[in-house]
C-alpha cells in the first residue's frame, strides 16, 4: 500500500441531494478521487528520498523543486488528491447561506459584500475553460482573500496561495445531473457550502 489513502467523505453520498446527486458523489469519490490517490502513490515513489519524507502540501508549495520527470504528474495527482479532500469538507448537508465570522468580514473587505463575491466567483468559475476549479484563497502576501481560477488539478498552493473554498467544475463533478449546464450546477452548489469549515481554514491560514 502506498503512503496516501483515499480520504473519507464526511457525510453520506446522498447528503447533498438534490444539489449534488448521490450517484455523482459516489463515482466522484470512489473512482476519480481514488484515481488521483493511486496516481499520487505511483509517482511519489519516483521522488528523491528526502522529498518523499516531506508533507504533500510542502511539495505542492515548492512544485518547481520537484524533478522535471515527475513534476507534471505530482502537480496533477497531488493537486487532485488535496483539492478533492478540501472539496468534500467544504460542503455539507443544509449548508449555504451568508457567512459570518472572520470569513464574512474578509469577503466583505475584499469584494465589497457577499453578493458581489458570489457573483464574481460564480461568473469566473462557470467561465473556466475545459476542466478546472474556482477557488476562494487566502493570499499570505496581502493578508486578504481573493478569487483564483486554476486549470486542471493544479493546486492554488503551487502559487503560494492557501485554498479556502473550492468548486470542482470538471464535467465529472456535475454531468450526470446537469449535463452541459455548468451554470445551474454552480448556482445549486451554493446551497451546500460549509462556511464553518471555510472560516476554520481562514483562521488557520492567518
Measured from the CB atom, the residue of 4 and 111 that comes closer to Mn ion is 4
* Nearest distance in Å: CB 52, Mn ion: 25
What is the footprint of Mn ion within residues 162-191 (CB under 5 A)? 168, 170
- Considering only the stretches 8-16, 37-45, 114-122, 160-168, report the one whose residues sit in contact with Mn ion under the rule CB under 5 A: 160-168
Give the nearer residue to Mn ion in terms of CB position, either 168 or 197: 168
- Number of chain positions touching Mn ion (CB under 5 A): 2
Q: What single DSSP character describes residue 137?
A: E
Shortest Cβ distance from residue 32 to Mn ion (Å)?
5
Given a contact cutoff of 8 angstroms between Cβ atoms, the answer to whether 133 and 186 are in contact is: no
Q: What's the CA gap between 89 and 85, in Å, rounded?
A: 7
Element (H, E) at 116: helix 114-126
CA distances in angstroms from 93 to 110, 166, 201, listed in the order given = 27, 16, 19
Q: How far is the CB of 87 from Mn ion (least distance, A)?
A: 7
CA dihedral 91, 77, 117, 90 (to 10 degrees): 20
The nearest distance, CB 143 to Mn ion, in angstroms, is: 30
* Cβ nearer to Mn ion, comparing 107 with 167: 167
Min dist. Cβ of residue 114 to Mn ion (A):
26
What beta strand segments (E) does the chain contain? Answer: 132-139, 144-151, 162-168
* 82 lines the binding site for Mn ion (CB under 5 A): no
Binding site for Mn ion (CB under 5 A): 168, 170
Amino acid at each position: 500500500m502506498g503512503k496516501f489513502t483515499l480520504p473519507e467523505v464526511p457525510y453520506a453520498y446522498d447528503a447533498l441531494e438534490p444539489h449534488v446527486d448521490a450517484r455523482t458523489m459516489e463515482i466522484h469519490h470512489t473512482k476519480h478521487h481514488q484515481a488521483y490517490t493511486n496516481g499520487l502513490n505511483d509517482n511519489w515513489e519516483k521522488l528523491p528520498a528526502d522529498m518523499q519524507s516531506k508533507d504533500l502540501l510542502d511539495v505542492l508549495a515548492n512544485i518547481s523543486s520537484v524533478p522535471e520527470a515527475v513534476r507534471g504528474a505530482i502537480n496533477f495527482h497531488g493537486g487532485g488528491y488535496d483539492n478533492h479532500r478540501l472539496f468534500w469538507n467544504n460542503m455539507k448537508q443544509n449548508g449555504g447561506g451568508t457567512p459570518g465570522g472572520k470569513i464574512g468580514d474578509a469577503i466583505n473587505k475584499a469584494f465589497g459584500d457577499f453578493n458581489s463575491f458570489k457573483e464574481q466567483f460564480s461568473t469566473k468559475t462557470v467561465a473556466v475553460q475545459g476542466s478546472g476549479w474556482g477557488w476562494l484563497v487566502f493570499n499570505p502576501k496581502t493578508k486578504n482573500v481573493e478569487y483564483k481560477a486554476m486549470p486542471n488539478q493544479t493546486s492554488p498552493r503551487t502559487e503560494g496561495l492557501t485554498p479556502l473554498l473550492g468548486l470542482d467544475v470538471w464535467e465529472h463533478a456535475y454531468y450526470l445531473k446537469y449535463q452541459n449546464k455548468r451554470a445551474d450546477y454552480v448556482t445549486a452548489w451554493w446551497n451546500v457550502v460549509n462556511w464553518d469549515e471555510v472560516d476554520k481554514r481562514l483562521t488557520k491560514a492567518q
